[in-house]
Amino acid sequence: MRFLRTLPLLALPLAALAGKPAAKAKAAAAEPVRPVKTFHVYVNDGMWKLADGTEFYIIGYVRYNDNWEEAPAGVQLPSPTLPAPTMRVTEGDEVHVVLHNMGHHHADKGSQIINVPHTIHFHGLDLVQAIDGVPDVPAEGLPDRVFSGVPVGDTYEYRFAAEHEGTYSYHCHVDAPTHILMGMYGAFIVDSKTPHTMYGRHYDREYTLFYSEVDTKHNEAIRTEGTYNMMEFKGDYYLLNGRIFVSNLKNPLSTVADPNSVIVANEGETVLLRILVMSFEHAFVLHPHAYHMQVIGTDGRPLTAPYWKDTLPVQSGERYEVLVPIINKRNKVCLSCGMGKGVSIFHDHNFRGETSNGQYPKGPLTVFVVK
Amino acid sequence: MRFLRTLPLLALPLAALAGKPAAKAKAAAAEPVRPVKTFHVYVNDGMWKLADGTEFYIIGYVRYNDNWEEAPAGVQLPSPTLPAPTMRVTEGDEVHVVLHNMGHHHADKGSQIINVPHTIHFHGLDLVQAIDGVPDVPAEGLPDRVFSGVPVGDTYEYRFAAEHEGTYSYHCHVDAPTHILMGMYGAFIVDSKTPHTMYGRHYDREYTLFYSEVDTKHNEAIRTEGTYNMMEFKGDYYLLNGRIFVSNLKNPLSTVADPNSVIVANEGETVLLRILVMSFEHAFVLHPHAYHMQVIGTDGRPLTAPYWKDTLPVQSGERYEVLVPIINKRNKVCLSCGMGKGVSIFHDHNFRGETSNGQYPKGPLTVFVVK
Amino acid sequence: MRFLRTLPLLALPLAALAGKPAAKAKAAAAEPVRPVKTFHVYVNDGMWKLADGTEFYIIGYVRYNDNWEEAPAGVQLPSPTLPAPTMRVTEGDEVHVVLHNMGHHHADKGSQIINVPHTIHFHGLDLVQAIDGVPDVPAEGLPDRVFSGVPVGDTYEYRFAAEHEGTYSYHCHVDAPTHILMGMYGAFIVDSKTPHTMYGRHYDREYTLFYSEVDTKHNEAIRTEGTYNMMEFKGDYYLLNGRIFVSNLKNPLSTVADPNSVIVANEGETVLLRILVMSFEHAFVLHPHAYHMQVIGTDGRPLTAPYWKDTLPVQSGERYEVLVPIINKRNKVCLSCGMGKGVSIFHDHNFRGETSNGQYPKGPLTVFVVK
Tell me the percentage of chain B whose pLDDT exceeds 70.
Answer: 88
Alpha carbons A322 and A268: distance in angstroms, whole number:
16
Strand partners, B271: B205, B324
The separation between CA C309 and the C-alpha centre of its own chain, rounded to angstroms, equals 23
Contact across the interface for B310 and C126, Cβ inside 8 Å: yes
Contact across the interface for C128 and B283, Cβ inside 8 Å: no
Provide the 3-class DSSP secondary structure of residue C315.
coil
**Would you call A9 an interface residue with chain C, using a CB distance cutoff of 8 Å?**
yes
Contact across the interface for B130 and A331, Cβ inside 8 Å: yes
The residue among B78, B91, B105, B98 whose CA lies nearest residue B157 is: B98
- Which residue in A has a C-alpha nearest to residue C363's C-alpha? A177
The residue among C170, C169, C117 whose CA lies nearest residue C143 is: C117
Interface test with B, best of C1, C2, C3, C99 (most B CBs within 10 A): C3
**Would you call B344 an interface residue with chain C, using a CB distance cutoff of 8 Å?**
yes
Burial (0-12, 13-18, 19+ Cβ within 10 Å), C75: exposed
Contact across the interface for B371 and C303, Cβ inside 8 Å: no
Task: State the ipTM, two decimals.
Answer: 0.91
> Is the distance from CB of C272 to CB of C323 less than 8 angstroms?
yes
10-residue stretch averages of pLDDT, chain B, 371 residues long? 29 33 46 88 98 98 98 95 98 96 94 94 88 60 78 94 97 96 98 98 98 98 97 98 96 98 97 98 98 98 98 98 96 88 95 98 97 92
Mean pLDDT of the C251-261 span = 97
Contact across the interface for A129 and C332, Cβ inside 8 Å: yes
Contact across the interface for B283 and C283, Cβ inside 8 Å: yes
Alpha carbons C345 and A160: distance in angstroms, whole number:
19
What's residue B135's pLDDT?
Answer: 53
Query: What angle (nearest 5°) sits at the alpha carbon of residue A68, between those of residues A67 and A73?
Result: 115
Chain C residue numbers touching A298 (CB-CB < 8 A): 307-309
Alpha carbons A320 and A307: distance in angstroms, whole number:
12
pLDDT band at A94 (very low <50, low <70, confident <90, very high): very high
pLDDT, tens digit (0-9, with 9 covering 90-100), for A309-336: 999 999 999 999 999 999 999 988 898 8
Tell me the percentage of chain A whose pLDDT exceeds 90.
Answer: 81
Strand partners, A47: A57
Alpha carbons C101 and C84: distance in angstroms, whole number:
15
The residue among A15, A98, A138 whose CA lies nearest residue C338 is: A138
User: A307 pLDDT exceeds 90?
Assistant: yes
Chain A residue numbers touching C371 (CB-CB < 8 A): 5, 7
The residue among A49, A43, A41 whose CA lies nearest residue A219 is: A49
Provide the 3-class DSSP secondary structure of residue C96.
strand
Alpha carbons B289 and C173: distance in angstroms, whole number:
11
Backbone angles phi, psi at B29, to 5 degrees: -65, -25
Chain A residue numbers touching C351 (CB-CB < 8 A): 176-177, 180-181, 230, 279-281, 316
Provide the 3-class DSSP secondary structure of residue A249.
coil
Chain A residue numbers touching B283 (CB-CB < 8 A): 283, 313
Contact across the interface for A127 and C290, Cβ inside 8 Å: yes
What's residue B257's pLDDT?
Answer: 97
Alpha carbons A180 and A87: distance in angstroms, whole number:
17
The residue among A328, A360, A142 whose CA lies nearest residue A238 is: A360
What's residue B11's pLDDT?
Answer: 28
Chain A, 21-40: which have a CB under 8 Å from a chain C CB? none
**Would you call B342 an interface residue with chain C, using a CB distance cutoff of 8 Å?**
yes
pTM of the shown model? 0.92
User: What does the mean pLDDT of chain A come to?
Assistant: 89
Helix (H) or strand (E) holding A148: helix A144-148
pLDDT band at C3 (very low <50, low <70, confident <90, very high): very low
**Would you call B323 an interface residue with chain C, using a CB distance cutoff of 8 Å?**
no
**Would you call C218 an interface residue with chain B, using a CB distance cutoff of 8 Å?**
no
Contact across the interface for C350 and A315, Cβ inside 8 Å: yes
- Which residue in B has a C-alpha nearest to residue A235's C-alpha? B231
> Is the distance from CB of B346 to CB of B286 less than 8 angstroms?
yes
**Would you call A18 an interface residue with chain B, using a CB distance cutoff of 8 Å?**
no
Subunits adjacent to chain C (3 or more Cβ pairs under 8 Å): A, B
User: A237 pLDDT exceeds 80?
Assistant: yes
When CB atoms are compared, the residue of B267, B340, B349 closest to C4 is: B340
Smallest CA–CA separation between A116 and chain C, in Å?
15
What's residue A335's pLDDT?
Answer: 85
What's residue C336's pLDDT?
Answer: 87
When CB atoms are compared, the residue of B250, B351, B357 closest to C316 is: B351
The residue among A9, A42, A48, A26 whose CA lies nearest residue A120 is: A42
Residue A338 CB partners (closer than 8 Å, separation 6+): A345, B119, B146, B147, B148, B149, B173
Alpha carbons A228 and A242: distance in angstroms, whole number:
22
More confidently predicted of C87 and A31: C87
What's residue A287's pLDDT?
Answer: 98
Backbone angles phi, psi at B337, to 5 degrees: -90, -25
When CB atoms are compared, the residue of C250, C264, C335 closest to A119 is: C335
Chain C, 102-121: which have a CB under 8 Å from a chain B CB? 119-121
- Which residue in B has a C-alpha nearest to residue A329's C-alpha? B128
Residue B32 CB partners (closer than 8 Å, separation 6+): none
Query: What angle (nearest 5°) sits at the alpha carbon of residue B100, between those of residues B99 and B101?
Result: 115
Subunits adjacent to chain B (3 or more Cβ pairs under 8 Å): A, C
Contact across the interface for B349 and C232, Cβ inside 8 Å: no
pLDDT, tens digit (0-9, with 9 covering 90-100), for B312-323: 999 999 999 999
Alpha carbons A68 and A41: distance in angstroms, whole number:
7
Strands (E), C50-154: 55-62, 84-90, 94-100, 121-123
What's residue A148's pLDDT?
Answer: 80
pLDDT, tens digit (0-9, with 9 covering 90-100), for C233-249: 999 999 999 999 999 99
Contact across the interface for C129 and B335, Cβ inside 8 Å: yes
Backbone angles phi, psi at B176, to 5 degrees: -50, -55
Alpha carbons C276 and A74: distance in angstroms, whole number:
52
Chain C residue numbers touching B350 (CB-CB < 8 A): 279-281, 315-317
What's residue A25's pLDDT?
Answer: 45
Interface test with B, best of C171, C316, C321 (most B CBs within 10 A): C316
> Is the distance from CB of B258 to CB of B209 less than 8 angstroms?
no
Mean pLDDT of the C328-341 span = 88
Cα→Cα distances B64→A187, A302, B71, B107, Å: 52, 50, 5, 21
Terminal Cα distance for chain B, rounded: 60
Mean pLDDT of the A268-273 span = 98
Chain C, 242-261: which have a CB under 8 Å from a chain A CB? 249-250, 256-257
**Would you call A268 an interface residue with chain B, using a CB distance cutoff of 8 Å?**
no
When CB atoms are compared, the residue of B290, B306, B357 closest to C126 is: B290
> Is the distance from CB of C102 to CB of C146 less than 8 angstroms?
no
**Would you call B232 an interface residue with chain C, using a CB distance cutoff of 8 Å?**
no
Contact across the interface for C127 and B282, Cβ inside 8 Å: no
> Is the distance from CB of B205 to CB of B272 less than 8 angstroms?
yes
Strand partners, B256: none
pLDDT band at C144 (very low <50, low <70, confident <90, very high): confident
- Which residue in A has a C-alpha nearest to residue C324's C-alpha? A126
User: A297 pLDDT exceeds 60?
Assistant: yes
